[in-house]
């Protein structure tokens, strides 16, 4: 495709695409195409001017080569990318905002005064109607106050004031709707699926294939702890499915043969073979948007308080208006009270501040599922870390396979990989990756695999019982033994590694030594969290006491607990909450999900298990714990902004009422200043909290 370089400096250039018009869909396709290029670090496509701003590292010539080869109709873009980009939404509201100002200016310039009067009178009927409807429901809401102010201005023939009040109310409503829908769209897009591969059942065999290759009518197998990637009907198996992301239900739902399952829900326990009904389209995204818009999930306590306070203040404002008239017998001074109220700004500025903070969090690759979770993070004094994949790196690696009982190391690694590939855990992935690196093909020879949460895996291969997992699971629960004469070898295993134990028919067959290195930033993050207001930092792990003590000392946590089970983590969180402490739980695995649910704010690391990300209230997309500190400060600054907004709103509007009652300013001026201040506070609330 042809293009022109408009401007260029080192590492950045602005390119104009040689086309007369660019649609929003074309802009999304082009952005998706350029973002995939390894040389490109950031892309912005401006559909109105057909321009593209590109930030890049080395490889300018390759970008030009890619642009020349680019064709809109040849690029295969995932449906959810186009569907949920938000570009059309922004264009729609930008156009509406500009049109409002243009229409107002044109009306004043070209319409005669009598026509403007009729226009204003007709438009006022909408607001007066809303106020009357509210009264009919026996509720004194902000709409009653708006209707009274506009109605009194019309009756007094002060049409300019009425028109100005309605214009500012309309602009405020438009900005609030835009910010809300943009935040909901960002949130829903973050929650949309990004499934890479799935298990396809074909001719009695389970084959791992790309999700894009699945078609309606195929049969897929979904194992415990993974997301159901497509809508479908259960063909076989039984499972407990967490549907909270779709229905809001907190308890898992039992699914069995002939039950319908939804894309994006998560298997908490069991396995299912699913007949795929739908693979394409927008059902997942639309359901998420609907769920968010129809529930109070986005509401923080501060938003709810602002909304209720706004409505509770309406009777006092009306009473103040009546009192001002009774004392002064001056309609103008009474109107000064009526034209100024606290409720508009409270109802607009606080929710917009929260939604804007959620949107800002996305800039740091942090997905927050509701404003109340930011408030919980701001209030939190206790934080609980899981170890594996959280304080330690999300990509552990197998360093040694120690065989026992005459077995060969490669054969034991092959067997372990055959079992572990079905389950989403960083340790399991390390085993599978090690087998792949050694070129070990592992055919599906085992029967049904059963995963015991926080313990291990049980299966059968050629009639022999195979277990793999923790020391407690293999030796205590399964009563396996070390082969005779190899006890010394067992006791001399490398102490610096975490260990997975593989046993066949009750005898230890191999120990897989996995390096689980500490994140470089872990100790720094712990110090920074203390500075941000966290008073107790705890680490909980299923690892041995020796490993846990070593990591805890290096990180600098206040407390640590070793060899814990999922219910132990959840129990600790519940005890802390019962003592009045707000708790953040950080985890990445299936065994963290109960504690994530029990905490005030559960935070999942994106590379972890799907069930952890689905249940968590907040997901950190970046593979960097420093974003936890960013999250904490963002939350703290949001609460500071909300409290500052309360002060400004109350102080400024109280001053306007006083000036009006004293006769220093006219009602028209009061209305302008009140509505302008409301708009200014709302716009300020839309700004970024972190610089």
- Using one digit for the tens of pLDDT, what is the confidence trace for 600-609? 999 988 665 5
Cβ distance 255 to 239 under 8 Å? yes
The predicted structure's pLDDT at residue 174 = 82
220: pLDDT strictly greater than 70: yes
Question: What are 68's two structure tokens?
Answer: 């020349």
Question: What are 453's two structure tokens?
Answer: 């949460």
The predicted structure's pLDDT at residue 609 = 57
- Block residue for tokens 């792990």: 541
Model confidence band, residue 445 (pLDDT cutoffs 50, 70, 90): low
Please state the rounded mean pLDDT for residues 183-193.
58
Model confidence band, residue 507 (pLDDT cutoffs 50, 70, 90): very high
Task: Cite the beta strand spans of 547-590 per DSSP E.
Answer: 559-561, 583-587
Q: Count CB-CB contacts under 10 A for residue 294.
A: 9
The residues, any chain, with a CB within 8 Å of residue 398's CB and separated by 6 or more, are 413, 430, 431, 433, 434, 512, 513, 514, 515
Q: Count CB-CB contacts under 10 A for residue 577.
A: 15
Cβ distance 560 to 549 under 8 Å? yes
Q: Reduced to 3 states, what is the DSSP secondary structure of residue 5?
A: strand
Q: Reduced to 3 states, what is the DSSP secondary structure of residue 94?
A: helix
Distance of CA 162 to the CA centre of its chain: 41
**Predicted model pTM:** 0.68
Q: Where does 366-393+518-621 sit in CATH, by number?
A: 3.40.50.1000
DSSP symbol at 474: I
Please state the rounded mean pLDDT for residues 15-42.
90
* 588 compared with 644, residue with greater pLDDT: 644
**How far lies 336's CA from each of 146, 341, 673, 675, in Å?**
13, 10, 11, 13
DSSP-based helix, strand, coil % in the chain, nearest 5: 50, 20, 30
Cβ distance 310 to 641 under 8 Å? no
Cβ distance 456 to 467 under 8 Å? yes
Question: What are 254's two structure tokens?
Answer: 């039992």
Domain boundary assignment for the chain = 3-77, 197-292, 366-393+518-621, 397-515
Q: At the fourth CATH level, which superfamily is domain 397-515?
A: Calcium-transporting ATPase, cytoplasmic domain N (3.40.1110.10)
Cβ distance 24 to 67 under 8 Å? no
Range in 102-116, 325-339, 485-499, 676-690 the model is least confident about? 325-339
Range in 213-227, 301-315, 345-359 the model is least confident about? 301-315
The residues, any chain, with a CB within 8 Å of residue 506's CB and separated by 6 or more, are 465, 478, 479, 480, 481
223: pLDDT strictly greater than 70: yes
Of the candidates 545, 586, 551, 590, the one whose C-alpha atom is nearest the C-alpha of residue 563 is 545
Q: What are the two backbone dihedrals, phi and then psi, of residue 479, each rounded to the nearest 5 degrees?
A: 55, 35
| Helices and strands, counts by H and E, the chain | 24, 26
- 315-361 per-position pLDDT tens digit: 877 887 888 888 887 777 777 777 776 766 777 778 778 878 888 88
The predicted structure's pLDDT at residue 450 = 72
The residues, any chain, with a CB within 8 Å of residue 485's CB and separated by 6 or more, are none
Model confidence band, residue 287 (pLDDT cutoffs 50, 70, 90): low
The predicted structure's pLDDT at residue 281 = 47
The residues, any chain, with a CB within 8 Å of residue 11's CB and separated by 6 or more, are 55, 56, 57
Q: Report strand pairing: 260-261 vs 231-236.
A: antiparallel
190: pLDDT strictly greater than 60: no
The predicted structure's pLDDT at residue 296 = 44
Please state the rounded mean pLDDT for residues 605-615.
65
* 583 compared with 366, residue with greater pLDDT: 583
The predicted structure's pLDDT at residue 634 = 95
Q: What percent of the chain is predicted at pLDDT more than 70?
A: 85
Question: What are 396's two structure tokens?
Answer: 């552990």
The predicted structure's pLDDT at residue 4 = 93
Sheet hosting strand 197-202, strand order edge to edge: 205-210, 197-202, 219-222, 272-278, 231-236, 260-261
**Domain over 3-77 is classified CATH 3.90.1300.10:** no
Q: What are the two backbone dihedrals, phi and then psi, of residue 314, each rounded to the nearest 5 degrees?
A: -60, -50
Exposed / middle / buried, residue 578 (Cβ in 10 Å: 0-12, 13-18, 19+): exposed
- Block residue for tokens 């974003």: 627
**How far lies 624's CA from each of 42, 157, 605, in Å?**
19, 62, 9
301: pLDDT strictly greater than 80: no
536: pLDDT strictly greater than 50: yes
- 516-533 per-position pLDDT tens digit: 788 889 999 999 999 999
Model confidence band, residue 196 (pLDDT cutoffs 50, 70, 90): low
Cβ distance 268 to 224 under 8 Å? yes
The predicted structure's pLDDT at residue 496 = 72
Exposed / middle / buried, residue 388 (Cβ in 10 Å: 0-12, 13-18, 19+): buried
Model confidence band, residue 282 (pLDDT cutoffs 50, 70, 90): very low
Cβ distance 544 to 344 under 8 Å? no
Q: Reduced to 3 states, what is the DSSP secondary structure of residue 485?
A: coil
- 114-167 per-position pLDDT tens digit: 999 999 999 999 999 998 998 898 887 778 878 887 888 888 888 887 888 788
Model confidence band, residue 639 (pLDDT cutoffs 50, 70, 90): very high
Query: Positive or negative, the Cα torsion across 168, 169, 171, 172?
Result: positive
Question: What are 194's two structure tokens?
Answer: 């990004």
- Block residue for tokens 């264009």: 91
- 384-415 per-position pLDDT tens digit: 998 877 888 767 889 999 999 999 999 999 99
End-to-end CA distance of the chain: 38
The span from the CA of 684 to the CA of 435, in Å, is 55
675: pLDDT strictly greater than 50: yes
Q: Reduced to 3 states, what is the DSSP secondary structure of residue 311?
A: helix
CATH class given for the domain over 197-292: mainly beta
- Block residue for tokens 């930011």: 374
């Amino acid at each position: 495709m042809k293009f022109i370089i408009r401007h260029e400096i080192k590492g950045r250039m602005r390119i104009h695409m040689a086309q007369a018009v660019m649609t929003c869909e074309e802009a999304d396709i082009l952005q998706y195409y350029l973002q995939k290029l390894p040389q490109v670090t950031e892309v912005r496509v401006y559909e109105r001017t057909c321009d593209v701003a590109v930030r890049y590292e080395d490889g300018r010539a390759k970008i030009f080569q890619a642009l020349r080869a680019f064709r809109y109709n040849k690029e295969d873009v995932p449906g959810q990318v186009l569907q949920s980009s938000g570009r059309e939404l922004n264009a729609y509201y930008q156009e509406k905002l500009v049109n409002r100002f243009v229409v107002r200016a044109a009306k004043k310039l070209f319409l005669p005064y009598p026509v403007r009067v009729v226009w204003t009178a007709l438009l006022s009927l909408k607001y007066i109607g809303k106020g009357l409807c509210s009264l009919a429901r026996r509720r004194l809401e902000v709409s009653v106050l708006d209707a009274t102010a506009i109605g009194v201005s019309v009756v007094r023939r002060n049409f300019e004031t009425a028109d100005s009040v309605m214009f500012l109310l309309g602009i405020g409503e438009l900005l609030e709707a835009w910010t809300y829908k943009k935040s909901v769209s960002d949130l829903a897009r973050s929650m949309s699926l990004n499934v890479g591969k799935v298990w396809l059942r074909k001719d009695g065999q389970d084959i791992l294939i790309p999700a894009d290759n699945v078609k309606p009518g195929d049969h897929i197998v979904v194992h415990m702890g993974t997301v159901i990637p497509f809508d479908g009907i259960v063909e076989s198996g039984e499972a407990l499915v967490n549907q909270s992301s779709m229905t809001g239900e907190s308890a898992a739902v039992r699914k069995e043969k002939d039950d319908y399952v939804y894309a994006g829900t998560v298997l908490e326990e069991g396995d299912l073979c699913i007949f795929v009904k739908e693979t394409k389209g927008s059902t997942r995204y639309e359901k998420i948007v609907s769920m968010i818009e129809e529930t109070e999930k986005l509401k923080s306590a501060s938003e709810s308080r602002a909304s209720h306070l706004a409505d509770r203040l309406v009777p006092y404002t009306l009473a103040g208006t009546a009192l001002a008239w009774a004392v002064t017998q001056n309609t103008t001074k009474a109107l000064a009270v009526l034209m100024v109220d606290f409720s508009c700004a409270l109802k607009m500025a606080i929710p917009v501040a929260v939604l804007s903070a959620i949107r800002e969090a996305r800039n740091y690759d942090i997905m927050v599922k509701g404003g109340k979770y930011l408030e919980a993070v701001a209030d939190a004094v206790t934080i609980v870390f899981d170890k594996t994949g959280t304080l330690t790196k999300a990509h552990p690696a197998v360093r040694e396979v120690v065989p026992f009982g005459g077995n060969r190391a490669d054969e034991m690694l092959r067997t372990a990989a055959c079992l572990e590939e079905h389950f989403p855990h960083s340790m399991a992935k390390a085993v599978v990756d090690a087998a792949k690196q050694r070129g070990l093909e592992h055919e599906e020879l085992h029967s049904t695999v059963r995963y015991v949460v926080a313990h291990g895996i049980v299966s059968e291969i050629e009639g022999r019982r195979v277990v793999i997992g923790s020391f407690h699971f293999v030796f205590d629960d399964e009563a396996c033994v070390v082969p005779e004469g190899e006890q010394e070898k067992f006791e001399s295993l490398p102490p610096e590694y975490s260990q997975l134990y593989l046993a066949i028919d009750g005898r230890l067959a191999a120990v897989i030594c996995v390096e689980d290195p500490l994140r470089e930033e872990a100790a720094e993050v712990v110090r920074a969290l203390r500075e941000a207001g966290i008073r107790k930092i705890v680490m909980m792990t299923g690892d041995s006491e020796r490993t846990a003590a070593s990591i805890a000392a290096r990180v600098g946590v206040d407390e640590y607990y070793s060899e814990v089970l999922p219910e132990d983590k959840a129990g600790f969180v519940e005890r802390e909450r019962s003592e009045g402490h707000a708790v953040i739980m950080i985890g990445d695995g299936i065994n963290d999900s109960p504690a994530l649910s029990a905490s005030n704010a559960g935070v999942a690391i994106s590379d972890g298990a799907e069930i952890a990300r689905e249940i968590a209230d907040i997901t950190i997309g970046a593979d960097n714990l420093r974003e936890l500190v960013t999250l904490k400060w963002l939350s703290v600054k949001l609460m500071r902004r909300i409290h500052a907004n309360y002060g400004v709103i109350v102080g400024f509007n109280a001053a306007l009422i006083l000036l009006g009652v004293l006769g220093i300013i006219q009602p028209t001026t009061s209305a302008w200043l009140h509505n302008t201040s409301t708009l200014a506070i709302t716009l300020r609330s839309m700004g970024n909290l972190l610089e």
